[in-house]
Amino acid sequence: MATLKLFVILALCLATYAVPQLPPRPRSTIFGDEKLEGQIFEHADVFSDEISLLNTNANAYRLPKTTKPVHYNVLWTIDMARLVFEGIVNINLVATQSNVNEIVIHAADLEILSLELKQGDLTLPHTYNLEPDYHFLRVSLNSSLEYNPASPVTYTLSIRFGAELRNDMYGIYRSWFRNNSTDTESWIATTQFQATSARTAFPCYDEPSFKATFDITIRRPTSYRSWSCTRIRETVSSNTTGSYQDDIYYTTPIMSTYLLALIVAEYSSLEVMQNGAITYEVIARPAAIEANQGQYAFDVGQKLLAAMNDHTALNFYSMNPNLKMTQAAIPDFSAGAMENWGLLTYREAYLMYDPDQTNDYFKQLNAYILSHEITHMWFGNLVTCDWWDSTWLNEGFARYYQYFLTDWVEDYMGLPTRFITEQVHAALLSDSTNNPHPLTNPGVGSPQSISAMFSTISYNKGAAIIRMTEHLLGFNVHRQGLRNYLVDRAYDTVLPIHLFQALQEVGNSSGAFSAYGPTFDFIEYYRSWTDQAGHPVLTVNVNHGTGDMTITQRRFNINTGYSPVNTNYIIPITFATASNPDFTNTKPTHIIGNAVSVINRGSTGDQWVIFNKQQTGFYRVNYDDYTWDLITMALRGSNRAQIHEYNRAQIVNDVFQFARSGLMSYSRAFNILSFLQYETEYTPWVAAITGFSWIRNRLAGTPNLARMEAQIARWANTSITGLTYYPIPNESFMRSYLRYQLAPVLCSMNVRECRNAANQQFRRLVTERVEVPVNSRNWVYCNGLRDGTETDFNFLWNRFLTHNVYTEKIQLLMVLGCTPHNNSLNTFLNAIVQDNFIIRPQDYTTAFNSAVTGNEGNTQIVFQYIRNNLAAVIKAFGSATTPLSYISSRLRTEAEINEFQSWANQNRMELGDDFQAVYNGAENSRESIRWAEAVSEDINDYFVNGDSNIEQSTANPEVKPDPTTVTAPPLVEPETPTIPDSAVTSYVSLFLLISTILVNIVA
């Protein structure tokens, strides 16, 4: 009988295990709320293996280089009554090789009315056709173009074209404004060409490497004004029927098509005139100019321009005699701002400033976005990335100077400090996915893949790597290298190697690399950070008896701790110790490139060591347990300020991500973070707010949320007590800015002092018309609505409808969703999705996010609204994915997820191509719930046991004079074991199970 039972069990085991099992789903800590529009992982999957745009043939989207443009003459006729445009473009072009019998340029969404090719007065026979999938206009010739490199033969391709003014904020598009809240709508025609939309405005070579000069004429109604990249040479009456005039502009510099722009609007301006010509101006709707809302941009913009002139030793106005600088406020704008050469465009809220109605958040946006776009006049316009696979050469520098150029002019805004949390930390997180794109990303070709390159990595990581390199070289050496780079490549395009060589040359001549030995290769250093994706985490194991520090580098992964891809980086090393707490000298003492290195600390005995002074390097740092204990003791102690504020923020950010990824337990992480109860400085607390916000989203709907929030409130008590919930006379910008970020968190956790302060200030606004201080409106308005009535919502809604300062209107859109009332939310949502002139398309997601996230209960109210108005919601957003992702990312229970997915299945036809993304969004929330369950015991362990007692084991450290690099003993990298596939795994499991059964039977 026993034998029979054994065979039955074996048969069942075979039936169960012999079938190959699906591999387990890879561990992920990236959830839906981080993939929403504008969030850190919005484009995380674009370059993944599953969706890979790199699998497409990138070259299929590229223009052949067999011809190139030399000069364009473009006439645009803008019909503001019918909201259409027509144009004529004459492209002077030459062949770049022999036997060219086809001209290929870009044209998209245009009606081609006529096309002619001439050489001088001779018209050449041809045919042409459009390829919409690739946006190509192909002109086929009966004979080859003449090719003479010594004396190029010029051909003229003349094309008449036309189209409606677009409504998607790309190409030449229409937008509306009310000069005053009671006025009727006025139309404006404006442009956004970056990166691939110039082709929708006129047929052209729409790639950055095809630079040329342009003569532009804008034919517009006489009651309107026009602007373009250069100054107007003359205005003449048009020969067109009706009241039109032609504004004829001076020739542009040699430039790429994406940097062209035009505006036709009934606008006013603030102007600087020199020798009868405009050199600098701010333009906007007349009421904003009359109210002096443009004055700040007018004043600070000129200071920023002067500072950049000085920094680069290359004056903007010397680039071309016809240039001027126009800063233009645009009502609807898909991008935040755009660096069109000489005509810089911005969302109105990012350019207009009213000191009585605009908070410091928008003021600093005004300043640093001006800096960003002004910087592009050099980095992007004068010197342009050759192709979008190295977008960082444009955007990394603009983002870098966005902070540091602004700081030279507006030093009270704390921008070098904020660079740590806003750029370095954001870049490290974005760069830690399974498949982040490298800064230099070969294979980019399609418009979709080009768009994806305008990412946190290109901007934030690009800026962070530039900052790391500046500290490696030294400020003056780095600046001289950049000056040489700009002069050498002026009016041309660049590859990364051009930058590397310019910096290497000046680094060598200045001796900047002399401390790093003859084997250091600066170009290989830079390539290790730009050609390779990701970044390292250094694990530092300290022998406190000898002072030797063994440093292991591995690529960091936010999902699994370490990436399965082995990547070594060439890393500049700095460190400070308890015996030498010098955090000011950020020149690297060592450069490491191996997987394992040993550096002597320069002292013995138990003492803390902190790597990466002021977080100048782009990497994370983990330590052995005892060194972490020593760091924790120091952070809890009275001398914690010996550790630089930026490094305290670095520690906060690192331990949050180590715990998230599984490299560290939450119990240990919270033990380290416990120093926050004494912390009052900006950077550590903003880093903490980011980390706590993520963990609170994961714990929502679980018992641990209340415990977590109570702990956060206790730790924040010292900081908020010093800040208070009310403005303090003459307080610094940064203290006010910390309150601006900390108070909303405390109010959302229902800290009673915060809610009381909010309600008191809100009631004074409603009942006494006493304005809320501008820097408190973000949390006072929201919590006034949370605790208020429908009447309170109507009060703020009317304020939104009638206010004439756009920064205040945006602030209101960001908080109106805090109302918990169904009727009020429906009023708000109707204004988003209905075709009206209330909420702008550029602000739909801001408003919708406010509605969904304003209160925990709002998610289901908005979901019900979508169910009742699905067609209207899809029409407003262009798809169902975006609005429903706001819902799916906030589903808190399995029951809510099942209900959501059931509804999606029932409405699969209406959802169409969006169905799978919508369904998967809910599944992602299911993974978030499971993640919270998996770490609940770890998190609860800290709540139960509290902070651990840490004691130092030995006495004072012995100081050694100079840290030295020690040659590590030969290290053998462990081989990665061969992982069995599912069938083999099943066989092994089966063997073990059978063995166990046999043992039990024999026993």
- Ligand-binding site membership of 372 (annotated): yes
| Two tokens, residue 169 | 């904020």
Question: Is 373 one of the annotated active-site residues of the chain?
Answer: yes
Instruction: Give the integer Cα–Cα distance in Å for 446 and 455.
Output: 16
Q: Count the alpha carbons within 13 Å of 745 in the hemisphere toward its beta carbon.
A: 29
> To which residue do tokens 């805004």 refer?
413
Instruction: Give the integer Cα–Cα distance in Å for 97 and 398.
Output: 36
| CA 550 centroid distance within chain | 35
Q: How long a stretch of residues is the chain?
A: 1003
Assess contact for 42 and 889: CB atoms under 8 A.
Answer: no
Instruction: Give the integer Cα–Cα distance in Å for 249 and 327.
Output: 17
Paired with 723 in beta bridges are none
> 3-state class of 809 per DSSP?
helix
DSSP character at residue 816: G
Instruction: Give the integer Cα–Cα distance in Å for 658 and 370.
Output: 36
| Two tokens, residue 70 | 């030399």
What's the one-letter identity of residue 751?
V
Burial label, 159 (beta-carbon count in 10 A; 0-12, 13-18, 19+): buried
Instruction: Give the integer Cα–Cα distance in Å for 668 and 948.
Output: 9
Instruction: Give the integer Cα–Cα distance in Å for 549 and 566.
Output: 22
In this structure, the strands spanning 958-959 and 603-604 are antiparallel
- Ligand-binding site membership of 425 (annotated): no
Greatest extent of the chain over all pairs of C-alpha atoms, in Å = 110
Is the peptide bond prior to 195 cis by the omega test (within 30 degrees of 0)?
Answer: yes
DSSP character at residue 820: -
Paired with 538 in beta bridges are 553, 621
Instruction: Give the integer Cα–Cα distance in Å for 125 and 143.
Output: 9
Helix H segments across 415-571?
Answer: 415-419, 425-430, 447-452, 456, 462-473, 475-488, 496-510, 522-530
- Ligand-binding site membership of 590 (annotated): no
How far the first Cα of the chain sits from its last, in Å, is 15
- For the chain, the 3-state helix, strand and coil shares in percent, each to the nearest 5, are 45, 20, 35
Assess contact for 327 and 297: CB atoms under 8 A.
Answer: yes
In this structure, the strands spanning 343-347 and 325-330 are parallel
Q: In what order do the strands lie in the sheet containing 84-95?
A: 122-123, 111-119, 155-164, 84-95, 67-79, 213-221, 244-249, 232-237
Catalytic residue among 34, 339, 373, 896: 373
Q: Which residues are known to be catalytic?
A: 373
The annotation places the binding site for Zn(2+) at 372, 376, 395
The annotation places the binding site at 372, 376, 395
